[in-house]
Amino acid sequence: MERTLVLIKPDGVRRNIIGEVISRIERKGLKIVALDLRTLDAETAKTHYEEHAARPFFESLVEFITGGPLVAMVVEGERAVEAFRALAGATDPVQAAPGTIRGDFALEVQQNIVHGSDSTYSADREIKLFFPDLA
Ligand code: RTP
Ligand code: MG
């Protein structure tokens, strides 16, 4: 069974839509196998988003993602990586289709509510980073 790392970013927690996001994951038929509310330190945030280290928005992204508590989850199911990315919608919430999490709840590219791993390779790396003790 495939696993993916999902984050409800600090903007989603601040806006009290944790339940809304979790409900969509469960409604889809995906299973939550680990879940934790935590505030990231800068080092973990930089490792998580290391692929973007050279991008102009990197510093601002790290500041945003460490700026308050977030919810980290491991989500499991058939093609879980792709299934959750479809629920999340496009990175830019204005482009994201209505009916997706970003399409329904966000307007700005940085504050786009959720993260989902972009491949099984990334999922593996990110799950080890966030939940090193998970079997
Ligand atoms: P994520 O990694 O958070 O699931 O998002 P994604 O794959 O859809 O998008 P990605 O390209 O990996 O970008 C990571 C996050 O960086 C912020 N971002 N800001 N200011 C900008 O132009 C910009 N572009 C991206 C977003 O929070 C995006 O989700
Ligand atoms: Mg990404």
Residue 52 annotated in active site: no
Please report which ligand is nearest the Cα atom of 58: 1
Q: Give the separation between CA 92 and CA 95, rounded to whole angstroms.
A: 5
Tell me the CB-side half-sphere exposure of residue 71, using CA atoms within 13 A.
22
Residue 17 contacts by C-beta under 8 Å, 6 or more apart in sequence? 8, 105, 113
Q: pLDDT value at position 135?
A: 78
Q: pLDDT value at position 10?
A: 98
Q: Does the 2-39+66-130 domain belong in CATH 3.30.70.141?
A: yes
Q: What is the mean pLDDT of each run of 10 residues along the chain (135 residues)?
A: 98 98 98 98 98 98 98 98 98 98 98 98 98 93
From ligand 1's centre to the CA of 57, what distance in Å?
Answer: 9
| 3-state secondary structure at position 30 | coil
Write down the catalytic residue from 30, 115, 123, 130.
115
Does the pTM exceed 0.95? Answer: yes
Does the annotation list 16 as a binding residue? no
- Atom 4 in ligand 1: residue holding the nearest Cα: 115
